[in-house]
């Protein structure tokens, strides 16, 4: 499978590394506006550098990873769709819901796969917890809460904590429930960043299923944890350690989780979906919903009220 990578910053370089390790994948070219970086990486991965993504898309690719700033997602994705190339675009899907819709509709009309890199859906611990919930090990789940906190990354300049980190757990909570979120209320503030740098996001699914996301750039240590409360038991998930514990009235049990790099699981899933013609786990519609909820969360703290989501 001939795959290209557009955008070779920190995340794009991880895409390159993992694709290079896949036996059935050829890196057909890489593109970056930083000529020096593109040329240097092309030597490492024995491929051709391009400085205009349209030139790369003319190389009869099967698929492409789009790892560019969010504001450029729609432009680059549409060019890829027009070249009949399957797409994996990093989260969030787009900078506006209108642009997300344009991408989704174009991919649908062209019968091109559009996958969005919501990486935590491919965390082995999250997949294990989803399996446990779907097999009724927790009973009816009524509350899911997460804590995604840590020190500030100065590389993040164009968005706040909700769109950068909070959107991960917004998507995971919707994924674990298997339902869309229909209301959000947020308390947030900005103390060290242009945008919000701490937020508490309360989510409602249906009438009485709740989600809670605590996230900030103010905590010295990086913490990534989630708790799911069901009528039969409580599950404790650690995203970083990739562990899941289930506690009920009689036992505390540790689930067997095969620890793997989530991005590698994600990219393998993308390649397999193209090869087999199967659906992707993180598609345009689910990613649009995560974006819509994150935008509503920002609107909620700015207006000081709950925001309903259609």
Could you tell me the pLDDT band of residue 2, with boundaries at 50, 70 and 90?
A: very high
Could you tell me the pLDDT band of residue 51, with boundaries at 50, 70 and 90?
A: very high
CATH classification at residue 66: 3.40.50.720
Together in a domain, 55 and 152: no
First to last CA, the chain: 39
Q: What pLDDT, on the 0 to 100 scale, is given for residue 244?
A: 98
Together in a domain, 158 and 299: yes
Could you tell me the pLDDT band of residue 42, with boundaries at 50, 70 and 90?
A: very high
Question: Do 172 and 215 touch, CB atoms closer than 8 A?
Answer: no
Other Cβ atoms closer than 10 A to 46: 9
pLDDT tens-place string over residues 255-281: 999 999 999 999 999 999 999 999 999
Name residue 234's beta-bridge partners. 229, 247
Together in a domain, 304 and 158: yes
Which residues span the domain enclosing 67?
Answer: 2-112
pLDDT tens-place string over residues 113-126: 999 999 999 999 99
Q: What pLDDT, on the 0 to 100 scale, is given for residue 157?
A: 74
Q: What pLDDT, on the 0 to 100 scale, is given for residue 154?
A: 80
Tokens of 257: 């989780």
In the block, residue with structure tokens 């995604």: 148
Residue 197 lies in a domain: yes
Residue 134 lies in a domain: yes
Other Cβ atoms closer than 10 A to 71: 12
**With helix as H, strand as E and coil as C, how does 57-92 read?**
HCCCCCEEEECCCHHHHHHHHHHHHHCCCEEEEECC
**Torsions phi, psi for 143 (to 5 deg):** -150, 135
Together in a domain, 125 and 22: no
Question: How far are the Cα atoms of 1, 100, 155, 290 from residue 224, in angstroms, in the given order?
Answer: 34, 28, 20, 18
Task: Please report, rounded to a whole number, the percentage of residues in the chain having pLDDT higher than 90.
Answer: 96
Other Cβ atoms closer than 10 A to 276: 8
Together in a domain, 91 and 167: no
Residue 279 lies in a domain: no
Together in a domain, 84 and 101: yes
Residue 146 lies in a domain: yes
Q: Indicate the pTM of the whole model.
A: 0.95
Give the residue from 87, 112, 137 where a domain finishes: 112
Residue 43 lies in a domain: yes
Residue 99 lies in a domain: yes
Residue 272 lies in a domain: no
Residues 208 and 153: their CA atoms lie apart, in Å, by: 35
Residues 284 and 260: their CA atoms lie apart, in Å, by: 25
Sequence-distant (6+) residues with CB within 8 A of 107 are 77, 81, 87, 113, 114, 284
Together in a domain, 150 and 296: yes
Give the residue from 112, 140, 169 where a domain finishes: 112
Using the CB atoms, write b or e for 209-222: b if 16+ within 10 Å. Answer: bbbbbbbbbebeee
- Look at residue 109 and tell me whether its pLDDT is greater than 90: yes
Overall domain count for the chain: 2
pLDDT tens-place string over residues 144-165: 999 999 999 887 778 899 999 9
Residue 227 lies in a domain: yes
Give the residue from 67, 94, 112 where a domain finishes: 112
Together in a domain, 34 and 156: no
Q: Provide mean pLDDT across the span 24-29.
A: 97
pLDDT tens-place string over residues 165-214: 999 999 999 999 999 999 999 999 999 888 999 999 999 998 899 999 99
Could you tell me the pLDDT band of residue 13, with boundaries at 50, 70 and 90?
A: very high
């Amino acid at each position: 499978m001939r795959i290209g990578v557009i955008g070779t910053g920190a995340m794009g370089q991880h895409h390159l590394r993992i694709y290079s390790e896949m036996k059935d994948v050829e890196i057909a070219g890489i593109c970056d506006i930083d000529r020096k970086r593109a040329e240097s990486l092309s030597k490492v991965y024995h491929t051709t550098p391009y400085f205009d993504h349209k030139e790369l898309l003319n190389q009869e690719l099967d698929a492409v990873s789009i790892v560019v700033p969010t504001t450029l997602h729609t432009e680059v994705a549409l060019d890829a769709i027009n070249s009949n190339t399957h797409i994996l675009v990093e989260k969030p899907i787009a900078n506006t819901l209108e642009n997300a819709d344009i991408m989704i509709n174009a991919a649908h009309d062209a019968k091109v796969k559009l996958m969005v890199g919501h990486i935590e859906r491919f965390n082995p611990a999250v997949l294990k917890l989803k399996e446990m919930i779907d097999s009724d090990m927790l009973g009816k789940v009524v509350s899911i809460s997460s804590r995604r906190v840590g020190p500030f990354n100065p590389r993040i300049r164009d968005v706040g904590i909700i769109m950068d980190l909070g959107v991960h757990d917004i998507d995971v909570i919707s994924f674990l429930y298997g339902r869309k979120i229909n209301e959000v209320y947020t308390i947030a503030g900005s103390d060290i960043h242009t945008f919000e740098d701490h937020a508490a996001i309360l989510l409602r699914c249906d009438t009485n299923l709740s989600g809670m996301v605590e996230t900030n750039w103010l905590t010295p240590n990086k913490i990534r944890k989630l708790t799911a409360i069901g009528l039969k038991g409580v599950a404790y998930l650690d995203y970083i350690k990739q562990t899941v514990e289930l506690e009920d009235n009689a036992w505390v049990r540790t689930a067997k989780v095969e620890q793997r790099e989530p991005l590698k699981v994600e990219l393998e899933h993308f390649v397999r979906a193209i090869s087999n013609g199967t659906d992707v786990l993180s598609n345009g519609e689910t990613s649009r919903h995560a974006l819509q909820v994150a935008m509503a969360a920002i609107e909620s703290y700015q207006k000081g009220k709950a925001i309903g989501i259609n």
